[in-house]
Structure 1
């Protein structure tokens, strides 16, 4: 190659290299700019995610308070002592730090989660109180709690009674809960968020933030820049700004919270978003003459961008344990899915594992996490095209299923239950895995609601059967809604009802069939009589009280009332009779159980052998050892111990063998469950004979027919209790019944026409 050609050749190479370099730099700058725009978009989306989390938490708490405020307005009760049961129920679900009621004079009575009550707190100058009294739901700025070292934010909703705002239902939440959301990373490599008002003043500062109190102190801003920022904040518009802080560029975005003219301020350092591209520029400069390397770098840059996108999406929309869509993504996908469908019947379901906390404690949290993964795989296996689900929190799952009839949903649930029954545990251990589920069914286009509304209804249906032993699925209905509202009403009233004496003592007589139908005693039964409303069935409130724990004070009230009645009866010269009182399963587990019953008996001076405590057969099956120990201790203190409902459940001869009981109550439901009366009578007669051999007294309860009385008398049954002789009657009527024949020798004269 001659010099002239070489010169042209090298010039061409130089021109090509320069062109390559210029094109490469241009492409690099273009990609960096494009990536920056996308990163800004992703950054804003991340801050929106924080914004949504804050909004959802605040709105959820306000919705909860709105519901309670509506109930308060309906029952027209504002006294703190009457509201305590409702407040404790709400605290169990929402974990408010403090709740209470602020009267229209600005003075509020509040109760902490630990039960501490603060009365007469002055809220009259608090903006959230004034806003709520104006008829709007309100959320306060951060305040320092005067009773602790906590920072709090108050919620307030108006309570309206008969069209008039009578006060504010208020709840305080630790600022720490909101700060935890703000502290979460708003980008894969860093970032955080603060809460500010439209003046730029900090309301809640992230732990990662500098110790500043105003937006303008973030970094160096031009006056015109600050003027534009505050103008946009005042107008409630989104704000994005780049600024320098200690020589480093950072990004900040302000997004409206939709409440109190507040904004979520997200901050991230720019180099955290674009660090990879600075190295790419140096690399391209070194390999400017190599087209292949250049293309590889471009490809690598593109892949890095995609990884950043995936990483950001994972942070915002993926369950960290199950590596599937979280509830936020699920909600978004569900909205799109329902829009795409040319209406199909859709069921929103909500479910969780019964006693999953015990599962974790038994097998360890690692095993619990593995089970949740297997549960997700099982749900995926049983899902059809177009259906989706996610884990909401802990062991709580939600999802959507399409169906032709509700029977399809039951079949699907039964398949799920069957697979759970065959779930393999560890080292041969066993644990009954039960998935309790509730369905909200959209049978028509009009039934489709928002995701949150369908979620709440499905959860309401699941809650209605959560405590049931045999029924583990339920469909939302208006009846369920009314039942839960009724339960809330009863729970709100139960404590005041006990104090007001609305729980009445009824006694059902017991007849000694082998002593010429002599009245041998009676069983104390509770009846709830509300003035102006009448009597509430025990079947309505007893299961509710057993579930919420109020059965314990009710049991004790009934026992003390029985002691007081028996003392008055004996003081009037009444002959000795035996009075039986029921003891709930929850009551026997109380630490002071024995002391209370023994001390009360002693206080009223009741002689030994006249008070009989009845325990259910289900308790004997559940904890035979505890019941046996309690029975011996009670017998030492002069009580008679009775086993109730024998024959109504899974009766076992081991119960009679192991328990030192004095009385066995035979449930006549035994007859109504059998088609062969002759076989039933043989079994009953032999149970009575067996009890006699064990020196156990027999009481047949629920006896309604005269022929049953004759059979039981012939079988040597000691006592009969049932409608065939007398229904439960008020305690005073029972006293009058005893006064008619003080000796108790009723003979054939007592209810002769029925016997």
Structure 2
């Protein structure tokens, strides 16, 4: 009897043990999945904020265009269909954007190419006409027949909605706006509408609104309850979490409305294989162990708790460890920044963004393996220089972000220069901008945008300082962007033309050469000063296109005179230092010279003294190429800043252009004369021709004669003149 009771007791104990183990394991699994839910929800919320911020910027930009158009209508005093169309076309001429179009209150849409269709039946138009800024579902353009998305905002005139303005985006452009790396690309992301149709997906595939339905896809894969739950949650505009299975694998998903974007919902998913790849195996192992050895229950609980921590660390690693540098991801940086701002609101610090100039060239030329090594090296070297309370992350590509407690320019330049030095033998340059955090409660994405906006000020410049953000940046950026668009339009409209200033032999007044200069003559006939647009072109990189346009027009001028049997003399052409970064620069100019069949001795390539000094090794090789082809090289502005006799020794310059500062009156004219005499004598001994710039008076001419300088360029003989005026004296050959 006692044995029977013992057996019953043993069986009961075993059953109780199995029941306890079963509920214990379910409890532990729920703890694991609860942590997954919390972490996934946090990541999805952050991603949603990023997507919302990027889309809101596009909506706000379009709203600003709407306000500019209505301002024009206010000036005209009319808002009928013709006035609206006229204001739109006028704006487009000044700010070309082929993706913009407007619609009047009746739904008549007008496009930049002059075409028009009715969009009265389009949902995005009707919503905007009701005062709702919105982004459409994917639809078909009635002009091109291609798929597109449209952002639509209302246009107000005297507090009345008179029409709408839209900007269209290709599916690829909208994907680039909304896509984010999720769990090191092991997860997936979808944006759907309230009916469940997929608008954008992380696979960047083409989705058919009529067939690709997320609700239906879940249902067909056996997740009927999850499909109903998701559909109900989206119907109620709620955020939530769900678990599904696909091909036998468990999937965690979080969904949330995209705030301020009408009828858009973000769904982010990750498979259990990415979060806890060994969970099932570990659970089974513990079942066996607990069934065999009851006494190790405490050990098992300890192992489970350890496994829970490992899984949480694994999830954090996937979300917060950058796969290229091994350092922080931007998500991790965001979390650390929020903690730092909360801990020290009185001194929130500085945000610095920086990137490597022309890093695409490094990847293309050296390969992605070398590119990744350089990115890891930059991260490690920068991290070595961090102080307590500072943090660093790679945003994407070659873009980095740093939280700093102290941001003296000397320190930042030193940190960046040290980070750019590498063992791969690659010369790197950086562009950086700094934003001093004024309000700890400010949106992090806005802080990053401000630091990036400061960095853009120096983008494309060879020698640059770190730019610090100020409130004037927004106005300056708007003004600079408008001028940039005007210059781009001027280049397109052939408004940039060559002016020529003769170089004259002061003894015979013969024209021995000329310098070609860029001038901007607007369609209205107004001559705009080079000071208005040349610095901007240098900063934005447009200078390379401008130089090549002037170069080609000069070649055409020479070709015309050669065909007319005019005895031509050399013309010097200015080129920006930015051309020296282009390995194909020499081939480009020689190809055009050959195309126009111009004798090389009639072309003189003119570079500034600072450009030659900054690119000593490149210039040395470049000069040898020019001489082998028969071209000449001229050093402009000699003596204005970087003069180096050693540089003249190493680089065979053909022409030395003495800066006008040597002709100006000084307190010690004796020293001035000694220096000018020495330069003239040195150039003669080196077989370098000397041209004196800025010759404006007879005293300047007499000073030149005194020291044996015979070629002058300046207002005393002739101002820069248009091609027609110069052509006449060029043929005569004398002033």
> Which TM class, normalised by the smaller chain length?
0.7 to 0.9
TM-score by length of structure 1 reads: 0.73
SS of 1:218 mapped into structure 2: helix
Matched with 2:101 is: 102
Which of 239, 264, 267 aligns to 2:266? It is: 264
TM-score by length of structure 2 reads: 0.75
Cα distance, 1:730–1:313 mapped onto 2, change above 3 Å? same
CA distance in 2, matches of 1:483, 1:309: 47
Matched with 1:22 is: 16
List runs of 5+ in structure 1 lacking aligned partners: 88-98, 111-117, 746-755
Per the TM alignment, residue 467 of structure 1 is displaced from its structure 2 partner at its CA by 3.2
Matched with 1:197 is: 193
List runs of 5+ in structure 2 lacking aligned partners: 73-86
SS of 1:154 mapped into structure 2: strand
Which of 167, 170, 192 aligns to 1:169? It is: 167
CA distance in 2, matches of 1:577, 1:120: 55
SS of 2:457 mapped into structure 1: helix
Please tell me whether the aligned partners of residues 194 and 204 of structure 1 are also in contact (alpha carbons under 8 angstroms). Answer: yes
Which residues of 2 match residues 125-274 of structure 1 at below 5 A?
126-128=122-124, 131=127, 137-142=133-138, 153-158=148-153, 167-174=165-172, 177=175, 192-204=188-200, 213-216=213-216, 218-219=218-219, 230-240=231-241, 253-258=254-259, 259-265=261-267
CA RMSD of aligned residues (A): 5.4
SS of 2:423 mapped into structure 1: coil
CA distance in 1, matches of 2:634, 2:601: 12
CA distance in 2, matches of 1:388, 1:21: 54
Whether 2:405 is the aligned partner of 1:402: answer yes
SS of 2:262 mapped into structure 1: coil
CA distance in 1, matches of 2:67, 2:624: 48
Matched with 2:656 is: 664
> CA-to-partner distance for each residue in 1:358-414, whole Å, 9 max, x for gaps?
5556765445434433433443333333322212123322122224xxxx5224314
Cα distance, 1:527–1:685 mapped onto 2, change above 3 Å? same
Please tell me whether the aligned partners of residues 348 and 401 of structure 1 are also in contact (alpha carbons under 8 angstroms). Answer: yes
CA distance in 1, matches of 2:498, 2:245: 78
Which of 432, 437, 445 aligns to 1:452? It is: 445
SS of 2:350 mapped into structure 1: strand
Cα distance, 1:205–1:734 mapped onto 2, change above 3 Å? closer
Cα distance, 1:45–1:353 mapped onto 2, change above 3 Å? same
CA distance in 2, matches of 1:533, 1:69: 34
SS of 2:386 mapped into structure 1: coil
SS of 1:169 mapped into structure 2: strand
CA distance in 2, matches of 1:583, 1:412: 34
CA distance in 2, matches of 1:502, 1:551: 15
CA distance in 2, matches of 1:736, 1:180: 56
Matched with 1:593 is: 589
Per the TM alignment, residue 700 of structure 1 is displaced from its structure 2 partner at its CA by 0.8
CA distance in 2, matches of 1:584, 1:562: 16
CA distance in 1, matches of 2:376, 2:591: 48
SS of 2:442 mapped into structure 1: coil
CA distance in 2, matches of 1:329, 1:524: 55
CA distance in 2, matches of 1:224, 1:608: 79
Per the TM alignment, residue 213 of structure 1 is displaced from its structure 2 partner at its CA by 3.2
Cα distance, 1:454–1:254 mapped onto 2, change above 3 Å? closer
Which of 400, 410, 435 aligns to 1:440? It is: 435
> CA-to-partner distance for each residue in 1:425-467, whole Å, 9 max, x for gaps?
25xxx4445544211113x55x863211111111121221233
Please tell me whether the aligned partners of residues 487 and 544 of structure 1 are also in contact (alpha carbons under 8 angstroms). Answer: yes
Matched with 2:543 is: 551
Which residues of 2 match residues 699-714 of structure 1 at below 5 A?
699-703=691-695, 708-714=700-706
Aligned residues: 695
Which of 684, 689, 709 aligns to 2:681? It is: 689
CA distance in 2, matches of 1:548, 1:178: 24
CA distance in 2, matches of 1:540, 1:126: 44
Please tell me whether the aligned partners of residues 24 and 294 of structure 1 are also in contact (alpha carbons under 8 angstroms). Answer: no
Matched with 1:481 is: 474
Cα distance, 1:409–1:131 mapped onto 2, change above 3 Å? farther
CA distance in 1, matches of 2:548, 2:430: 35
Which residues of 2 match residues 451-470 of structure 1 at below 5 A?
451-470=444-463
Which residues of 2 match residues 55-74 of structure 1 at below 5 A?
56-57=50-51, 59-60=53-54, 63-64=57-58, 66-67=60-61, 70=64, 74=68
Higher mean displacement: 710-719 or 696-705: 696-705
Please tell me whether the aligned partners of residues 555 and 582 of structure 1 are also in contact (alpha carbons under 8 angstroms). Answer: yes
Which of 712, 715, 727 aligns to 1:720? It is: 712
CA distance in 1, matches of 2:276, 2:150: 37
CA distance in 1, matches of 2:190, 2:427: 46
Cα distance, 1:505–1:279 mapped onto 2, change above 3 Å? closer
CA distance in 1, matches of 2:43, 2:712: 68
Which residues of 2 match residues 283-298 of structure 1 at below 5 A?
283-284=286-287, 287-288=290-291, 290-298=293-301
CA distance in 2, matches of 1:623, 1:148: 49
Cα distance, 1:308–1:687 mapped onto 2, change above 3 Å? same
SS of 1:526 mapped into structure 2: strand
Cα distance, 1:623–1:131 mapped onto 2, change above 3 Å? farther
Please tell me whether the aligned partners of residues 527 and 537 of structure 1 are also in contact (alpha carbons under 8 angstroms). Answer: yes
Please tell me whether the aligned partners of residues 128 and 154 of structure 1 are also in contact (alpha carbons under 8 angstroms). Answer: no
Cα distance, 1:691–1:175 mapped onto 2, change above 3 Å? closer
Which of 327, 330, 337 aligns to 2:330? It is: 327
Matched with 1:748 is: none
CA distance in 2, matches of 1:540, 1:344: 40
Higher mean displacement: 386-395 or 60-69: 60-69
Per the TM alignment, residue 39 of structure 1 is displaced from its structure 2 partner at its CA by 1.0
CA distance in 2, matches of 1:476, 1:12: 81
Per the TM alignment, residue 343 of structure 1 is displaced from its structure 2 partner at its CA by 0.8
Cα distance, 1:269–1:352 mapped onto 2, change above 3 Å? closer
Which of 42, 45, 57 aligns to 2:36? It is: 42
Per the TM alignment, residue 58 of structure 1 is displaced from its structure 2 partner at its CA by 6.3
> CA-to-partner distance for each residue in 1:268-307, whole Å, 9 max, x for gaps?
7789869736864674466446343222222222222222
> CA-to-partner distance for each residue in 1:576-607, whole Å, 9 max, x for gaps?
887654345567927553454566688xxxx9
Which of 484, 487, 490 aligns to 1:494? It is: 487
